[in-house]
């Protein structure tokens, strides 16, 4: 996962992957078939872990807006960290592979859709709680939040400072109300 995350799908060589996993070429092919299948499994696992963690946080939050404020605030506070420099495996992969017509690109699109789905649940809950107007298009707002998070991750990856990213995150959240 770390190799794909740091280098991207295309730039991650089989040799890099074998060294990171400390396995032989034959073991890679026996376990996964090829580099593409390893990437698919990696992205699925990353997505499953991320969406599972975020779903649990959303369920445990006192409100959906509190969840969104916490998530976007924490993201902004990552400015300058190693994590920020890596970006998000899902958004990195979607940017790299988005226009392709293969399994890796399809999996990246499904991963972005999963993030949008999570945001859709949060928006619907925030509407039910009265924090977002009920007459606003919940799916459009969820897509907006996905766009916003992808943008924040890009800003962080490019080295934007914390104040800039925090201001952008706050503007994103203010627009929901």
Residue 41: band (very low, low, confident or very high) from pLDDT cuts 50, 70, 90: very high
Query: What domains are defined for the chain?
Result: 44-176 (1.10.357.10)
Q: What is the pTM of this model?
A: 0.91
**pLDDT attached to residue 42:** 93
- Once rounded to an integer, what is the mean pLDDT over residues 75-95? 91
Determine the Cα–Cα distance for residues 124 and 28; give it in Å rounded to an integer. Answer: 43
**pLDDT attached to residue 138:** 98
Determine the Cα–Cα distance for residues 169 and 147; give it in Å rounded to an integer. Answer: 11
Q: What is the pLDDT of residues 120-169, one digit of tens each?
A: 999 999 999 999 999 999 999 999 999 999 999 999 999 999 999 999 99
Residue 111: band (very low, low, confident or very high) from pLDDT cuts 50, 70, 90: very high
Determine the Cα–Cα distance for residues 164 and 129; give it in Å rounded to an integer. Answer: 30
Is the pLDDT at 119 greater than 90? The verdict is yes
| Averaged pLDDT score across all residues of the chain | 93
Q: What share of the chain is helix, strand, coil (3-state, %, to 5)?
A: 75, 0, 25
């Amino acid at each position: 996962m770390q190799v794909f995350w740091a280098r991207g799908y295309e730039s991650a060589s089989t040799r890099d992957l074998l060294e990171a996993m400390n396995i032989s070429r034959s073991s890679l092919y026996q376990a996964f078939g090829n580099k593409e299948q390893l990437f698919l499994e990696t992205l699925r696992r990353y997505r499953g872990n991320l969406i599972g963690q975020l779903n649990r946080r959303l369920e445990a939050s006192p409100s959906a807006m509190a969840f969104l404020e916490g998530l976007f605030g924490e993201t902004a506070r990552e400015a300058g960290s190693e994590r920020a420099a890596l970006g998000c495996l899902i958004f990195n992969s979607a940017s790299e592979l988005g226009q392709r017509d293969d399994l890796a690109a399809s999996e990246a699109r499904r991963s972005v859709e999963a993030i949008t789905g999570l945001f859709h649940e949060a928006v619907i809950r925030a509407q039910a709680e009265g924090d977002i107007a009920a007459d606003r298009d919940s799916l459009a707002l969820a897509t907006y939040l996905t766009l916003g998070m992808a943008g924040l991750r890009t800003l962080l990856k490019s080295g934007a400072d914390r104040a800039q990213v925090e201001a952008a995150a706050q503007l994103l959240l203010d627009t929901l109300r």
